[in-house]
Structure 1
C-alpha cells in the first residue's frame, strides 16, 4: 500500500529548477519522456492489436483481460494528474527516472488503452444502436481501468498529486476544489482511504468509496469540495534535494522508501 502522500503545487518556473548537477530542463525532459513513452506505447499497441478475444461474449473473462491490458509493473511513485498536465507529468517522470532511478506510473499513459479496449469490445460484441449494451461495455472498461489504477496505487511507495489549475479549480463562487475529472476524484478518494488506514488511528474513519467511472470528463459537470488535506505539500525541488543528499550520502538507491519517509515527515 502507498505510504507517503504528497501534493505538488504548480511550479512558477517549471522550465528550469536550478540544482547544478541535477538541473531540470522542462522542454528536454518532455522531449525525452515522450520518446520513451511512444516506444512503450507502440510495443503495447502491437501486442493489443493482436489480442485474441473469444468469439462469444459469454466466454470473455474480464479478469484476464484486465491483467493483459492493464499490467501492474513495478513503480515507486503513482503520479496523479490532469490530462491537460500530461507534458508536466511526463517531464517529471523522465527527470526522476534519469537522475534518481525512481519509476513513476503516469496514469494518463493508460487511458488510451482503455479507449482502444472499449472500441474493440463494442465492435465485436455490442449492437451500436443498443444504448444499454453500449453502456454495459463502457461500465466494464471503466471499472477495469479504475481497479487497475487502484492496484497500481496500492503497489507504489508514494502517491504524488500534481495540484494545478487544471486538476483542481477554485474559480466557482462558493465552491472549493472543483474537478471535472472522475479519474482525479477517484484517485484522491482512494489515496484518502489509504492515508486514513495508515495514519488516522485516533479518529473514527468515515466511510468513503470511489465511484464507478461512467461520467465523461468532457461534460460540464464535476465534483466539488475535493479533499486534499491528507496530502503533504512538496515541490520538485524538495524531491531533488532529498534524493540528491540522502541517496548519495546516507542510504543509497536500495533504500528509497527511507528517503520518502524522511521527506514525508519533514513536509508540511
Structure 2
C-alpha cells in the first residue's frame, strides 16, 4: 500500500454509479466449493492453504475499499465511479470472496456437530472459528498490501459518533478495526505500475455486526488523508486524459502526504 484516505460520504453519493459498480464486480461469479472433500489430505487433516486460496483468493486491484457491511452498496457505487471516471479497479471483499460463514458452517457440520445431542461442541466451534477468521484476516492484510491505495468509507455505520474526536473514532466492526490497524502498520510501498484486474464474485458478510453481541474498538485515523465528496469531484475534474494508475498520481498531488509524515 502506498497511500491511504479517510473518505466521508453520504449513503446517496454516487448512487447513479451503483449499476456500473455491480456490472464491473459481478461480471463473473466465483464458484466456491460446498464440501470439504477437495481440502482433505490423505492423513485426514484439512489443508488451510487450499481453503484460503479458494474462499479468499488474492485478486488484482488498484484501490482497497474498507467499509461497513451496511455500506456495501455505497462501496460498490464508489467502485463504479472510480472505474467510470479513471478506469481504476477496486477491491470489495463482498464482491470478490466467499462467505466466511458458509465455510465455517461446512467445517462445523462435519467436525463440531453431535448428532445424538443435536448440539455443537463449544471448544471445537471456537477452534474452527479461529482458523477461518485468521485465514480471512491474513487474506485481507495481503490484499491491502497488494493494492496501491486505500479508501476507508467513514460513515455512521463504520464509525460511532460517541467520543469521536479529530483523527480518532470507535467502531463496532472487528473487521474495520483490523483493516485500519493494518493500514497503520503496513510499511508504505513504492508505487507499482502495472494494469491489474481480476473478476469478482461471491458473498461475504460481517456476522458480528448482525448479532446481539457488540464489542467496540477504538481506531486511529490520523495516518489517513481526509476527503469528502467535493474532494473526489475535484480529483475527477483535475484529470485530463489520465486514467488508471496515472489518475492516482493526480490524487496524490492534490492531496499530498501530511506534514507529520503520515500517508
Q: TM-score range by the shorter chain?
A: 0.7 to 0.9
- Unpaired segments ≥5 residues, structure 2: 114-118, 190-205
Change (3 A) 1:57 1:86: farther
In the TM superposition, what is the alpha-carbon distance from 1:257 to its structure 2 partner?
4.5
**What SS is found at the alignment partner of 2:226?**
strand
> Which sits farther off after the overlay, 63-72 or 74-83?
63-72
Change (3 A) 1:264 1:57: farther
Q: Distance in 2 between matches of 1:241 and 1:137?
A: 47
> Which sits farther off after the overlay, 86-95 or 110-119?
110-119
Deviations 1:188-234 (A, max 9, x none): 1011112xx449xxxxxxxxxxxxxx993324432343211111111
Q: Tell me, yes or no, if structure 1 residue 188 matches structure 2 residue 174.
A: no
Q: Distance in 2 between matches of 1:57 and 1:159?
A: 41
Change (3 A) 1:225 1:152: same
**What SS is found at the alignment partner of 2:256?**
helix
Q: Between the two structures, name the one with larger relative contact order (CA 8 Å, sep ≥ 6).
A: 2
Which residue matches 2:8?
9
Of 111, 126, 133, 2:124 maps to 133
> Which sits farther off after the overlay, 74-83 or 127-136?
127-136
Deviations 1:142-164 (A, max 9, x none): 11011000000000111111111
Q: Tell me, yes or no, if structure 1 residue 101 matches structure 2 residue 87.
A: yes
In the TM superposition, what is the alpha-carbon distance from 1:256 to its structure 2 partner?
4.2
TM-score, structure 1 length as denominator? 0.75
Q: Which has the higher helix share?
A: 1
**What SS is found at the alignment partner of 1:147?**
helix
Q: Distance in 2 between matches of 1:160 and 1:244?
A: 19
Contact 1:9/1:235 (CA < 8 Å) preserved in 2? Answer: yes
Contact 1:3/1:157 (CA < 8 Å) preserved in 2? Answer: yes
TM-score, structure 2 length as denominator? 0.76
Which residue matches 2:200?
none
Change (3 A) 1:105 1:73: same
Q: How does 1:40-59 map to 2 (within 5 A)?
A: 40=28, 43-44=29-30, 46-49=31-34, 52-54=38-40, 58-59=44-45
Q: Tell me, yes or no, if structure 1 residue 33 matches structure 2 residue 21.
A: yes
Q: Distance in 1 between matches of 2:44 and 2:53?
A: 18
**What SS is found at the alignment partner of 2:150?**
strand
In the TM superposition, what is the alpha-carbon distance from 1:90 to its structure 2 partner?
0.9
> Which sits farther off after the overlay, 127-136 or 178-187?
127-136
- Unpaired segments ≥5 residues, structure 1: 16-23, 200-213
Contact 1:6/1:234 (CA < 8 Å) preserved in 2? Answer: yes
> How many residues get paired?
234
Of 214, 222, 231, 1:238 maps to 231
Q: Distance in 2 between matches of 1:29 and 1:5?
A: 22
